[in-house]
């Protein structure tokens, strides 16, 4: 198996005016899906807590699990956001 160098790849990607838009759309779709999932986890946690309080047969451990799932997914989303902001700041500092 022959291994090619990265020279041709870098020359093609570094040309001005040749920006791929599909990667941006994929990131937008992935990020918006993640936000929707986190929101749904928050809603599910709230609904589970309301069912527990009203006595609809939800156990305490189910409330705790739903709450921790919502908390963990929100923390993950915030870390992804923080890393994305850091990446953007680093990219803007790079010399052209």
How many residues comprise the chain?
96
pTM of the complete model: 0.67
Domain ranges within the chain, ordered by starting residue:
24-93
pLDDT tens by residue, 50-86:
999 999 999 999 999 999 999 999 999 999 999 999 9
Given a cut of 80, whether residue 16 has pLDDT beyond it is no
Q: Which of 46, 51, 54, 48 is nearest to 74 (CA)?
A: 46
- Helical residues (DSSP H) of the chain, grouped into ranges: 7-13, 22-54, 60-93
Mutual angle of helices 22-54 and 60-93, in 10-degree steps: 160
């Amino acid at each position: 198996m022959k291994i090619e160098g990265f020279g041709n790849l870098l020359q093609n990607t570094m040309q001005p005016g040749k920006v791929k838009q599909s990667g941006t759309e994929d990131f937008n779709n992935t990020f918006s899906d993640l936000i929707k999932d986190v929101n749904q986890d928050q809603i599910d946690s709230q609904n589970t807590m309301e069912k527990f309080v009203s006595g609809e047969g939800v156990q305490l451990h189910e409330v705790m699990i739903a709450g921790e799932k919502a908390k963990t997914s929100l923390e993950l989303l915030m870390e992804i956001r923080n890393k994305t902001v850091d990446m953007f700041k680093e990219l803007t500092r790079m010399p052209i």
